[in-house]
Amino acid sequence: MAQVLVIGASRGIGHELARQYIDNGDRVIATVRRAEDRDGLLALGAAAVHLVDVAQPQSVSGLAWLLDGEKFDYAWYVAGVLDHQRSANPPTQQEFDRVMHTNLLGAMQALPQVAPMVEAAGGKFAFISSSMAQIGHVDNDHSWLYRCSKAALNMAVATAQHGWPGALLLTLDPGWVRTAMGGDSAPLSVEESVQGLRATLAGAQPADAGRLLHHNGTRADSW
């Protein structure tokens, strides 16, 4: 039975990760942003569900205290938000903070708190990124703030890997998924994406440390 942490399990990919691990017989601890999202995960069989808003630094700062004494074979940072701005429209300070706090600052705050618990188990810590962050594959200017936040996340994880050599840290691209963020026209169901993500993380090797992998297990050819 694996010990699993899912940060950002209120809905979408995070919720499905929690569900699939629970169905597999694993012990899952999850975090959600809203209190009303707790009951559903507890009903699925989560061992614990903590209230953490990764967009609020003071909320994330207590994560280590909430998880005191835990060790994780698999940890996931899933929380993320999208913007719809193009490069002709500079982001407002409010929009910049909304996207960067959730996608990057929250991850950078969670990482040094959770990584020791992953390292103690010789486990793996995955951060949901995106193929939209790959600088070598930019074919439009949609969601440019989101792209920047995920590119920065890739660098943050690649850098942090050197600080926690006993854990395997990497970023994962879930593909274009039919979620509230991805929309109804996306080709992948959330179930398909998460099945691939779980298999890819389970099969990740030391050579993948700090890298971006796609949900189907292939290694991104550019960051």
Quick: pLDDT tens for 13-43. Answer: 999 999 999 999 999 999 999 999 999 999 9
For tokens 């188990």, name the residue.
Answer: 121
Tell me the percentage of the chain whose pLDDT exceeds 90. 74
CA–CA separation, 51 vs 171, rounded Å? 24
Task: Assess whether pLDDT exceeds 90 at residue 89.
Answer: no
Closest residue by Cα to residue 101 from 141, 153, 64, 62: 153
CA–CA separation, 27 vs 33, rounded Å? 20
Average pLDDT over residues 169-174: 95
The pLDDT mean for the chain works out to 91
CA–CA separation, 99 vs 196, rounded Å? 26
Q: How far is CA 13 from the centre of its chain?
A: 9
Closest residue by Cα to residue 201 from 217, 190, 188, 187: 217
Task: Assess whether pLDDT exceeds 80 at residue 181.
Answer: no
Cross-strand pairs, 150: none
Main-chain phi, psi angles of 168, to 5 degrees: -100, 115
How would residue 145 be classed by pLDDT, with cut points 50, 70 and 90? Answer: confident
Local structure of residue 11 (DSSP, 8 states): S
Tokens representing 130 are 């995106």
Tokens representing 109 are 């705050």
Inter-residue contact 60 to 37 (CB < 8 Å): no
How would residue 182 be classed by pLDDT, with cut points 50, 70 and 90? Answer: low
CATH 3.40.50.2300 fits 3-214, yes or no: no
- Residues in the chain, overall count: 223
Average pLDDT over residues 86-101: 88
Tokens representing 210 are 């700090």
Domain residues of the chain, as ranges?
A: 3-214
Task: Assess whether pLDDT exceeds 60 at residue 222.
Answer: no
* Torsion over CA: 141, 145, 146, 150 (sign): positive
